[in-house]
Amino acid sequence: MSRAVEEYLKPDVVQQIARLDLRAKFIVKGFLQGLHASPFQGFSVEFSEHRRYAAGDDPKDIDWLVYAKTDKHYIKKYEAETNITGYLVVDTSGSMGYTYRQQFTKLDYAISLASALCWLMVHQQDPCGLMVFGEKITASLPARSRRSQISEVLSLLSKTEAVGTSEISASLLQIGAMLRHRSLLMVFSDLLAEPAAIRDALLRLRHRNHDIILFHVLDEAEVRFPFQGMVELTDPESSQSMVVDADAARRDYVTGVDDFREHYRQVCQQAGIDYVPLDTSMPFDTALMEYLINRQQRA
């Protein structure tokens, strides 16, 4: 059953994002613009219009062809081309449907965070698209910057369900084959698949000059292992179960999760990928703000 769009972008959530947008206005702008590099003052540019030469203008910007025709000095006026094309890449495999005691499943959490980023990008007039995957790409929307894109993205996301097995690496490679231009890929996944294959797929996307933000979404229970006594744990994708002594297993389990995250942190750091570890107990707007601030501080 599809969920209501309003579940992910309720009026109070929109207000939260709006406040976030105001607080992060310059941070977000710098973050998105910072992904562009070109010889002209750090950004790509396009010709805009002419204006009369004024004291203090750089004589190198005078359009001498216009001068030859009019006998007047005009400056070529340029405007920075700051738009970047972004794609929300959302994992909808069965494991993303897990929640222990939080209101949102991992998929719900990813959708809320993706909604906020879509809202921010479109309000900056940056094209934002969507790709949804499980075993393969199951749905997509081309990147657009019009305001209606937000509702179209949310409408599609509200119909998604966390089902099936995960083929993260194959899906990322499929996405790479679909994209013709450099893009910003915002990937939301629990990354519960073969790490080496995922690493190789991420590196291939970087080799094609795509920028990547990897939002590693885990449930609070997957990070902290709050269980006690003998518990039965079931893999949501394979349906395999095992009974474990939670108290005896906790230390090794938490260490394993820490190592799991650290592996991706190191891989991403070496590849120039932004790695954002999250769990579902973190308010998504707070998580987004912290990330944007950290990104700006590193810039």
- 40 within some domain: no
Residues 107 and 58 in one domain: no
Cite the beta strand spans of the chain per DSSP E.
45-52, 74-80, 86-91, 128-133, 137-144, 184-189, 211-218, 230-234, 241-245, 274-279
| Helix or strand run (H / E) with residue 248 | helix 246-271
Task: Please write the tens of the pLDDT for every residue from 177-221.
Answer: 999 888 999 999 999 999 999 999 999 999 999 999 999 999 999
Q: Which one, of 42, 121, 55, lies nearest residue 88 by Cα?
A: 121
| Per-residue pLDDT band at 102 (split at 50, 70, 90) | confident
| Whether the predicted pLDDT of 223 surpasses 80 | yes
Q: Distance from CA of residue 35 to its chain's centroid? A: 13
Distance CA 255, CA 252 (A): 5
Res 296: pLDDT: 61
Per-residue model confidence (pLDDT) at position 3: 56
Tens digit of each residue's pLDDT (9 = 90 or more) over 111-149: 888 887 888 888 778 899 999 999 999 999 999 999 889
Same domain, 147 and 74: no
Among residues 298, 299, 292, the alpha carbon closest in space to that of 23 is found at 292
Write out the two tokens for 188. 């939301």
Structure token pair of residue 150: 């937000």
- 298 or 240, which is more confident? 240
pTM of the model: 0.74
Using one digit for the tens of pLDDT, what is the confidence trace for 58-79? 677 787 877 787 888 777 654 4
**pLDDT range class, residue 86, cuts 50, 70, 90:** very high
The CA distance from 215 to 224, in Å, is 18
Tokens for 114, please give them: 């993706």
Tally of domains in the chain? 2
Q: Is 49 found in the same domain as 137? A: no
The reply to whether 254 falls in a domain is yes
Q: Which domain holds residue 72?
A: 45-80
Choose between 8 and 126: higher pLDDT: 126
Instruction: Residue 24: give its domain's CATH number.
Output: 3.40.50.410
Tell me, yes or no, whether 39 lies in a domain.
Answer: no
What is the DSSP secondary structure assignment for residue 103, as one 8-state letter?
S
Please report how many Cα atoms fall inside a 13 Å half-sphere around the Cα of residue 276, on the Cβ side: 25
Torsion of CA 265, 270, 272, 273, to 10 degrees: -30
The answer for residues whose C-beta is within 8 angstroms of residue 240's C-beta and 6 or more apart is: 234
Three-state DSSP at 3 gives: coil
Do 163 and 61 fall into the same domain? no
Do 222 and 197 lie in one domain? The reply is yes
> Is 113 inside a domain boundary?
yes
Confidence of residue 263 (pLDDT cuts 50, 70, 90): very high
3-state per-residue secondary structure call for 157-201:
HHCCCCCCCCCHHHHHHHHHHHCCCCCEEEEEECCCCCHHHHHHH
Closest CA to 170 of 189, 144, 156: 189
What is the average per-residue pLDDT within 248-252? 88
User: Is there a single domain that holds both residue 108 and residue 254?
Assistant: yes
Are 193 and 287 members of one domain? yes
Residue 114 resides in a domain:
yes
Q: Per the domain annotation, does 230 fall within a domain?
A: yes
Q: Are residues 64 and 135 in the same domain?
A: no
Same domain for 58 and 177? no
Angle at 35 between CA 34 and CA 40, to 5 degrees: 70
Whether 139 and 2 have beta carbons less than 8 Å apart is answered as no
Segment 232-248 shows an average pLDDT of 80
Q: Do 64 and 170 sit in the same domain of this protein? A: no
